Amino acid sequence: MPDVILRAEGLGYDGALALADLSVRAGEHIAVIGPNGAGKSTFLKLLAGLLTPSHGQVTLAGKPLKSFSRREIARQVAWLSQSDDVACEFLVSDYIALGRLPFQEMATPAEDKAAIRSAVKHCGVGSLITRVMGSLSGGERQRVMLARCLAQTPRILLLDEPTNHLDLAARSELLALLRTLPITILAVLHDLSLVPDFAARTVLLSDGHLTMDGLSQQVLFSTMFEETFRLKVHQITLDDGHASLLFRPETS
């Protein structure tokens, strides 16, 4: 499959993840879900090359990830942690410019500038660049962090709980922004109600095993999902015609 950009084959990491297989096509948006401790962050870090797998391998554009240097991976894969603990006095513009580090001594200043300008415009953070990181709200901070990732001009974006600590408005704003990005995105999402809006495909992890991989609707309404989360999913239709998901504990 020539359009497979990222593939995990029998991927494992000590006790945290076992034999995970996944093929990601270019441009796909995939949600990674699972209960706490299921191995979602470990899975994402293995795909980003931040952890070395104890079993199996990751291939990026058909080549083993370990054949790339760290900098070469960073030119193709951007990774957003749950929360960067960047110092409060750090200027937003300086922080976003860090995204150009993998291209140091490769890209011209004009290319760097263009990539940063495009990332800033995409994330709508133009009004924030003169501020310091400590003065931003949770939503603004997350958008700035995303802009740093986009300044890397990546082919693949890996997001570890990007909606963490965000209020409802900021969550939908961020997801709306992610939906517009024409790149491959894998995002760990804790808020399950956001999954159908964000991704057509969902990967379910449980106890370090990749237990299901399919269309989001199929995964969310599967028995495996109910057993994993002990939740029942109900689809309700709102007055405006939009469908929304309601999750209720199995016992109630």
Partner 1 sequence: MIQQISVCAAILMVVGLGILETVLGSASMSWGALNAGFWAGPHSHDIAARIIWSLRIPRFFLAFLTGATLAGAGALLQAATRNPLADPFLFGLSSGAATGAVAVIVLCGDLLGIWTAAVGASVGGLFATGALLLLIVFRRKKNLGVSTERVLLSGLAVSFFFSTLTNLLIFWGDRNTAQSVLFWTMGSFSGASWSALPIVGLGFLPVVLCGHTYRRELDALMAGEETAASLGINIQKLRLCVLALCAFGCAMTVALCGPIGFVGLIVPHLVRPVWGSSLKRNFMPAIVAGGMLTVMADILSRCVLPSQELPVGIVISAIGAAFLLVLLLRR
Footprint of partner 1 on this chain (CB under 8 A)? 45, 48, 50, 69-75, 77-79, 81, 84-91, 94-95, 98-99, 101-102, 104, 132, 152
Residue closest to 211 by CA, chosen among 67, 38, 50, 46: 38
Select 48 or 136, whichever has its Cβ closest to partner 1.
48
Smallest gap from Cβ 73 to partner 1, in A, equals 7
161 within 8 A of 190, measured Cβ to Cβ: yes
Structure tokens at 17: 């993840």
Quick one: 18 or 96, whose CB is closer to partner 1?
96
CB of 108 to partner 1, least distance (A): 16
Residue 116 or 220 having the CB closest to partner 1: 116
Of the pair 88, 114, the CB lying nearest partner 1 is at 88
For residue 48, the minimal CB distance to partner 1 (Å) is 6
For the bound state, the minimum distance from the C-beta of residue 146 to partner 1, rounded and expressed in Å, comes to: 13
Find all residues with CB under 8 Å of 187, minimum gap 6, and list them: 29, 30, 31, 32, 158, 159, 162, 178, 198, 199
- Nearer to partner 1 by Cβ, of 28 and 160: the residue is 160
Cα–Cα distance, 93 to 40 (Å, whole number): 31
- Smallest distance, partner 1 to C-beta of residue 94, A: 4
